[in-house]
Amino acid sequence: MDADLDPILLEVLKNGFDAIADEMALILMRTAHSPIVRDAMDYSTALCDRDGQTLAQGLTTPMHLGSFYDAMRHLIAQYQGRIAPGDVFIGNDPYAASGQHLPDIYIIKPIFHAGALCGWATTLAHHVDVGGLVPGSNSIGATEIHQEGLRLPFLKLFDGGVENETLFTIIATNVRMPDQVLGDLKAQMAACRAGEQGFQALLGRYGADKIARYGDALQDYAETLARAAFSEIPDGVYEFTDHIDGLGENPEVITLKLKLIVAGSEVTADWTGTAPQVRGGINAPLSFCKSNVYAALRSIMPLDAPNCHGFSRPIHVVAPPGTLVNALYPAPCGARGITGYRIVDCVFGALAKAVPDRVAADGTGGSTLPSFGGRNEGQNFVFSECIMGTWGATSAHDGQEGVPHMASNQANVPIETIEADYPIRIEKYGFLADTGGPGRFRGGVGLTREYRVLVDDVYFGVRSDKNLYPPHGLFGGEPGARSRNLINPGNGERSLPSLPVAPVTLRRDDVFRHEMAGGGGYGDALDRDPALVLEDLLDEKITPAHASAAYGVVIQPGADLAIDWAATERLRLELRAARMAATVP
Amino acid sequence: MAVYRIAADIGGTFTDIACLSPNGMLSTYKTPSTPDDLARAVAEGICAIAARLGMDRGAFSEVLHASTVATNAILEGKGAVTALVTTEGFRDVLELRRIRVPRLYEPLYSKPAPLVPRRRRYEVSERLGPKGEVLKILDIPAMTALASMLALSKVEAVAVCFLHSYINPAHELEAAAILRRALPGRFISVSSDVLPEIREYERTSTTVVNAYIGPVVARYLRSLQERLRQSGIGGRLLMMQSSGGALDVERVIATPARIVESGPAAGVTGAAYLGVIAGYRDIITFDMGGTTAKASLIEDGRVVTTDEYEVGGGISLSSKLAKGGGYALKLPVIDVAEVGAGGGSIVWVDPGGALKVGPRSAGAVPGPACYGAGGEHATVTDANVVLGFLNQTALAGGAVAIHADAARAALSKIGATLNCDVLEAAYGVHRLANATMMRAVKAVSTYRGRDPRDFILFAFGGNGGVHAAALARELQIRRVVVPPGAGVFSAVGLLFANIEVARSVAFPRPLEDAAPGDIESRFRELEARVIAELDGGERAILRWRADLRYAGQGFELSVDVAPGISTDDDMSAIRQAFEREHMRSYGHLLDGQRIDLVTLRVIGSLPHGGADRLAAPPPEVETDAYARPVYFGAEHGLCDTPVIGRGGLRQGARKGPLVIEEYEGTTIVPPDATASLDAHNNIVIDL
């Protein structure tokens, strides 16, 4: 830190910036209209300096971390010299605005003080629909971005305070749920206004020069913390390969290959060898790939390190153009979230080899995203939500259950509000026994959610994964159970692939059931304390048959669950012997 | 009638007693808490104060009480053995929560365990639709069999939560009746009674918290009653609720989830009451103790409540965003923002070279370095000793010895790391603690569209007066008020609590479709319930409130509604009140967007019969003031600062710098500020 900087004022201003980003996040959530923003919290807010570098980001969605910088550079380059007080910018296009995917719309407001541009209030929210092939605008089956909905380069939604009526009308006409989209855009604008006011108060108090200097110092400080954290990782090249199940009914596996190179205080994520971009909506633009690498590496930094741009300086991302992780126009990317989750999982997979006590075994692979769309009582409806989630086990405890993927700290949508607002009934929501990957510490058990549609002609789509490649364990821990998508289970049941491309139409009373994968285990299951196995039995997270098959724990016959210790010891010896035998050629 | 009120607030370290005489004289008493039997310190403290006042222990008309007994049961996992009965297919709603976790970027995060483990969560066949229509009738034989099984088990409390019961409680009531028959004497908690509101996780969790603490709170309050009786202490026992307002102990035993935040609520309620008496209607309260600092808002003389609350969630700077660390409790709680910055908060330097304050605390043992009890880490209190803000030899009238050299040694180490002298390091800690506490103030003001400059700062807690003036300056607040008894203010606040009952009902429909007569009759039904529960008849003061939102939003705003709704004008008044609040909170309206009613509420209160204000004590002999050097930053340097008592302001206003030392706390008046006493014995600092 520079000697002439006051470290206390730096901390004071860091608090001030964080408070602004959090206030923006809170206002956006409280005024939003779509369940995916107001309940699932799939949005982000940030306060940026005059160059568009993030000073603070609200505590919402990790996979948006770092998503503002590339977009801000794009915007600033495009509008340099034509940015005025009262402007509000809008954009969403991955190629024309360095955006994420079309449903993620940026609303950005420049902040002026004494006539000079001093910073930006920025927001990014996942909108319920932006038109295109399917309700929800996340078609797996899209083959080019033009099919995915309304593409917005950075445009002025307000020009010097004057509303761009044309643009509002175009947006309202091109989306299936204009009330929700416009409502959420207004919520984003309210958040930007709060950010502007908060930052102007700081500028008034300390002056633009001081704020700029301390903003720069904050970036340096974050960089210092990041370098300190990375220096603790042993130098080396850590490789990891992960998979996405593939597109459609006859999927071809999609491979992600990562080489994580740790050298001193710098980390490089090299994706050379990863599959080419695909003809389906799961391609990740480079900015999204970087965001996810940042989020994963941020997880091994101190918890209270600032989420500002500076911490990403020692991180380098090598992603060959034209691959799944650096898609080029016109690759579609509506459902690219799945690739983002896998990017994070790859980084954790590689980190497990370097710092095994700092990460968990593989989890459910991110949220499953079902979408339902159609007409009800004469109106369009689109409903989509995130089903989550379970984590793999760690060196210290069982996998967590009922948690979001690390990359997307989202919430579920209350069943009662779904049923009050949409022609959908939730029939079941809960854990599935025997699905956690066995291990000394058990992977989290998977869970299921069942939907019954109450009207005819409902378009249905789903984005999921981990059917062909279930979550892996660590250090002898076994994988969790596979995920499944079922239509009308037990009643003319048929299954859907992880990423169906062909449209599915549901009729009244049809049921969709998703079973999430279970988390991977950590360590040898035969080393698990039988008392913990008994606890799992009491909670019906495993069955007696699974207890003996997977853990070698035998239960005494009778009504009360009790361990037969002698039989358990015998069975564990037998299972170990059988394992040894299996390795003898 | 001469009414003496006595109040007891049990904290982690001390039990505070306060007594108010009919003519408004305040007496306070502090005694160590007795964790093995909390009631003992209460009874002994009350007896001690009665003896000091020379009055009969049986003469108290009311005993008011605040306690952390409910919160502790949750934090320590010592609640009742509880079972949960849910709709078939949904027993895991409680454990799955809203999924979101409070900590980002933490792969080793561990979720709090559910209060009811899966093995005691039972499903029964029944189902309602979102309009309350019965899709599947309750399986009575299965419910009866379940109740019989529970009767044979060790279960002490049962929570019942079925889907959509907020709109139709019939199935829950049937199930509860079966349980009550089979399990007489055990605690039954029913969601449609505890919280008749939409959102199954929040309703289930609230009902479960109520069940989990029910038997514990009942046992505690019964033993307290018995202890008071044995000690010959008279008076009706009333307990503070989280929402402000006291409640008869029998009602508390029926719905104990109402009292989890009783201590903080008591302080804020007292601030609202005494603030209004002193002429302030818009107040930000600032309560700084040993481990945390809390802020809350009083607007137009009224406390602001929220239902975005989690019990046992720990301290979080932005608790409303980062949810999931505790157990959702969606009953109204006074909206208090808390940060981990108190007197005992530990000061440290992180690997990036930045100075940090808290959230780790040195606690009561070993405490700050200056206590000389083995604490090695510098704390906020140590910095305040080094700066001269706190007495250099002893606090609390000599009860706590201060080792100023130990404080200086601890801060010197911090200074060495930061490359500055000990005074600058200490002043840095002081500023940083203020910066952290500013976030608590902002969370209750700017986050809701309120400008702190429109408010006064009402400071209490052991350290409130030390930091209040500097904090107010940062926020450009012009006036600070430090009440008498600031160091035992939760107990003082209890003395002015009215008896209060709040009831709500789900009323989801578009405002434009709601018939005035329907709204009126639902409000009247609620009123009747509230009046019955108050046992107060026509003396009750009733307040109507409605929660509304724009169609599609997920969060409501609560507004006052004038009782008596019959005309279209009355309906537009509700609309306008909502629009005003929306504009104020968020800065915009959604023209043409439908407005939906969500919940109706009635809050009834019975004014207490005690003194309505604090009297100024008789003139005391002011001991000779002395002066000590106090550091107010580079701008002022070390100032030779007079040290006086509260009575030292009685002759008239005095210019800062000043240190005002009292038994329960210290108040700092910086240079360029003026301090005076008002008619109610409050210290008023004008900045």
Which of A198, A223, A248 is a domain's end point?
A223
Residue B550 and residue A183 in contact, taking contact as beta carbons nearer than 8 Å: yes
C-alpha to C-alpha distance for B101 and A384, rounded to whole angstroms: 21
- Measuring CA to CA, which residue among B509, B496, B15 is closest to residue B276? B496
> What tokens appear for B345 in the block?
């908060």
Residue A14 and residue A216 in contact, taking contact as beta carbons nearer than 8 Å: no
Residue B558 and residue B624 in contact, taking contact as beta carbons nearer than 8 Å: no
Residue A156 counted as domain residue:
yes
- Measuring CA to CA, which residue among A371, A456, A365, A366 is closest to residue A141? A371
Domain B280-341+433-494 classification at class level = alpha beta
Contact B89 A360 (CB under 8 A): no
Domain range summary for chain B, segments of one domain joined by +: 4-73+219-262, 83-205, 280-341+433-494, 345-430, 499-606, 626-686
C-alpha to C-alpha distance for A22 and A56, rounded to whole angstroms: 9
C-alpha to C-alpha distance for B404 and B371, rounded to whole angstroms: 9
- pLDDT range class, residue B318, cuts 50, 70, 90: very low
Residues A472 and A561 in one domain: no
Residues A54 and A170 in one domain: yes
From residue A33, alpha-carbon distances to A71, A218, A314 in Å are: 25, 35, 39
- pLDDT range class, residue B201, cuts 50, 70, 90: very high
Residue A294 counted as domain residue:
no
C-alpha to C-alpha distance for A189 and A169, rounded to whole angstroms: 17
Residues A90 and A217 in one domain: yes
**How many domains in chain A?**
3
Of B110, B447, B593, the CB nearest to A26: B447
Beta bridge partners of B658: B669
Tokens 């003026």 belong to which residue?
B674
Of A22, A59, A183, the CB nearest to B104: A59
Instruction: Give the tens place of pLDDT for each residue, B628-682.
Output: 999 999 889 999 999 999 988 988 899 989 999 988 889 999 999 999 999 889 9
3-state SS assignment for residue B619:
coil
Residue B637 and residue B614 in contact, taking contact as beta carbons nearer than 8 Å: no
Q: Where are the alpha helices (DSSP H) in B125-190?
A: 140-151, 170-182
Chain A residue at shortest CA distance from B201: A414
Please name the helix (run of DSSP H) or strand (run of DSSP E) that holds residue B474, with its range, or none.
helix B464-475
Choosing among A30, A301, A358, A421, which should be mutated to test the B contact, i.e. which has the most B CBs within 10 A? A30
The reported pLDDT for the residue numbered B314 is: 64
Residue A1 has pLDDT above 70, yes or no: no
Report the gap between the CA of B631 and the closest CA in chain A (Å): 17
Q: What average pLDDT score do residues A574-582 get?
A: 91
The reported pLDDT for the residue numbered B621 is: 57
Q: Which residue type does A7 have?
A: P
Bond before B290 cis per omega within 30 degrees: no
**Could you tell me the end-to-end alpha-carbon distance of chain B, in angstroms, rounded to an integer?**
42
- pLDDT range class, residue A400, cuts 50, 70, 90: very high
- Say if pTM beats, i.e. exceeds, 0.90: yes
- Measuring CA to CA, which residue among A271, A245, A416 is closest to residue A335? A245
Query: Where are the extended beta strands (E) located within A134-175?
Result: 155-159, 162-163
CA atoms within 13 A on the CB side of B122: 19
> What tokens appear for A560 in the block?
């009360």
Phi, psi of B577, deg, nearest 5:
-60, -40
Give whichever of A28-42, A45-59, A254-268 has the largest mean pLDDT. A254-268
**Alpha carbon B455 to chain centroid, angstroms:** 20
Report the gap between the CA of A481 and the closest CA in chain B (Å): 19
Q: Which residues of A touch B106 (CB under 8 A)?
A: 299, 303
Residue B301 has pLDDT above 80, yes or no: yes
Entry field: residues in chain A: 585
C-alpha to C-alpha distance for A372 and A381, rounded to whole angstroms: 8
Of B93, B351, B586, the CB nearest to A31: B586
Architecture of domain B499-606: 2-Layer Sandwich (3.30)
Instruction: Give the tens place of pLDDT for each residue, A8-48.
Output: 788 889 888 988 998 899 899 989 988 888 877 889 999 99
> What tokens appear for A66 in the block?
């770092």
Of A222, A396, A447, the CB nearest to B96: A447
| Angle CA B534–B535–B538, to nearest 5 | 90
Range of the domain at A473: 360-522
Of A183, A359, A539, the CB nearest to B590: A183
Residues A515 and A539 in one domain: no
Instruction: Give the tens place of pLDDT for each residue, B142-197.
Output: 999 999 999 999 999 999 999 999 999 999 999 999 999 999 999 999 999 999 98
Residue A275 counted as domain residue:
no
Instruction: Give the tens place of pLDDT for each residue, B63-72.
Output: 999 998 888 8
In this prediction the ipTM stands at 0.93
Residue A144 and residue A331 in contact, taking contact as beta carbons nearer than 8 Å: yes
Residue A308 counted as domain residue:
no
The reported pLDDT for the residue numbered B2 is: 63
Tokens 């996340």 belong to which residue?
A138
Instruction: Give the tens place of pLDDT for each residue, A429-467.
Output: 999 999 999 999 999 999 999 999 999 999 999 999 999
Which of A191, A223, A255 is a domain's end point?
A223
Residues A518 and A542 in one domain: no
Residue A344 counted as domain residue:
no
Q: Which residues of A touch B446 (CB under 8 A)?
A: 23, 194, 198
Contact A60 B321 (CB under 8 A): yes
- pLDDT range class, residue B315, cuts 50, 70, 90: low
Q: How many CB atoms lie within 10 A of CB B624?
A: 5
Residues A71 and A111 in one domain: yes
Beta bridge partners of B361: B345
Report the gap between the CA of B511 and the closest CA in chain A (Å): 17
Q: Which fold does the domain B4-73+219-262 belong to in CATH?
A: Nucleotidyltransferase; domain 5 (3.30.420)
C-alpha to C-alpha distance for B265 and B152, rounded to whole angstroms: 40
Q: Which long-range contacts (CB under 8 A, 24 or more apart) does B168-177 make?
A: B168/B128, B168/B132, B168/B133, B168/B134, B169/B193, B169/B196, B170/B134, B171/B126, B171/B128, B171/B134, B171/B138, B174/B138, B174/B140, B174/B143, B175/B85, B175/B124, B175/B126, B175/B138, B175/B143
Residues A417 and A497 in one domain: yes
Residue A420 counted as domain residue:
yes
Which of A166, A189, A223 is a domain's end point?
A223
C-alpha to C-alpha distance for B41 and B47, rounded to whole angstroms: 10
Do B4-73+219-262 and B280-341+433-494 have matching folds?
A: yes
Residues A449 and A495 in one domain: yes
Entry field: residues in chain B: 687
Please name the helix (run of DSSP H) or strand (run of DSSP E) that holds residue A565, with its range, or none.
helix A565-583
Rg (CA), chain B: 26
Choosing among B92, B105, B590, B591, which should be mutated to test the A contact, i.e. which has the most A CBs within 10 A? B105
Q: What average pLDDT score do residues A469-492 get?
A: 96
Instruction: Give the tens place of pLDDT for each residue, A88-108.
Output: 999 999 999 999 999 999 999
Phi, psi of A451, deg, nearest 5:
-120, 135
Residues A423 and A555 in one domain: no
Bond before A356 cis per omega within 30 degrees: no
Residue A20 counted as domain residue:
yes
Q: Which residue type does B204 have?
A: T
**Could you tell me the end-to-end alpha-carbon distance of chain A, in angstroms, rounded to an integer?**
61
C-alpha to C-alpha distance for A102 and A93, rounded to whole angstroms: 6
Choosing among A128, A345, A388, A409, which should be mutated to test the B contact, i.e. which has the most B CBs within 10 A? A409
B351 exposure class (CB count in 10 Å sphere: 0-12, 13-18, 19+) = middle
Residues A517 and A490 in one domain: yes
Q: Which residues of B touch A35 (CB under 8 A)?
A: 554
Q: Which residues of B touch A414 (CB under 8 A)?
A: 198-202
B5 exposure class (CB count in 10 Å sphere: 0-12, 13-18, 19+) = buried
- Measuring CA to CA, which residue among B104, B78, B149 is closest to residue B323? B104
Q: Which residues of B touch A431 (CB under 8 A)?
A: 92, 95, 118
C-alpha to C-alpha distance for B494 and B483, rounded to whole angstroms: 14
Contact A430 B96 (CB under 8 A): yes
> What tokens appear for A503 in the block?
């449209």
Q: Which residue type does B601 have?
A: R
Residue B317 has pLDDT above 60, yes or no: no
3-state SS assignment for residue A107:
strand
Residue A485 counted as domain residue:
yes
The more confident residue out of A35 and A329 is A329
3-state SS assignment for residue B87:
strand
Q: What proportion of chain A, given as a percentage, has pLDDT over 70?
A: 99
The reported pLDDT for the residue numbered A90 is: 98
Q: How many CB atoms lie within 10 A of CB A486?
A: 17
Buried b (16+ CB within 10 A) or exposed e, A19-49: bbbbbbbbbbbbbbbbbbbbbbbbbbbbbbb
Chain B residue at shortest CA distance from A454: B129
Buried b (16+ CB within 10 A) or exposed e, A336-365: bbbbbbbbbbbbbbbbbbbeeebbbbbbbb
Contact A303 B355 (CB under 8 A): no
Chain A residue at shortest CA distance from B426: A8
Q: Which residues of B touch A450 (CB under 8 A)?
A: 89
Report the gap between the CA of A403 and the closest CA in chain B (Å): 5
| Angle CA B74–B77–B79, to nearest 5 | 70
Choosing among B103, B104, B450, B593, which should be mutated to test the A contact, i.e. which has the most A CBs within 10 A? B104
Tokens 């037990």 belong to which residue?
A490
Please name the helix (run of DSSP H) or strand (run of DSSP E) that holds residue A316, with its range, or none.
strand A315-318
Please name the helix (run of DSSP H) or strand (run of DSSP E) that holds residue B4, with its range, or none.
strand B4-10
Q: What proportion of chain A, given as a percentage, has pLDDT over 90?
A: 84
Q: Which residues of B touch A541 (CB under 8 A)?
A: 118
Phi, psi of A128, deg, nearest 5:
-65, -30
Q: What proportion of chain B, given as a percentage, has pLDDT over 90?
A: 61
The reported pLDDT for the residue numbered A396 is: 92
Residues A489 and A566 in one domain: no
Of B96, B200, B442, the CB nearest to A416: B200
Phi, psi of B15, deg, nearest 5:
-105, 125
Q: How many CB atoms lie within 10 A of CB A252?
A: 11
Residues A569 and A440 in one domain: no
Q: Which residues of A touch B91 (CB under 8 A)?
A: 430
Report the gap between the CA of B153 and the closest CA in chain A (Å): 13
Report the gap between the CA of B660 and the closest CA in chain A (Å): 27
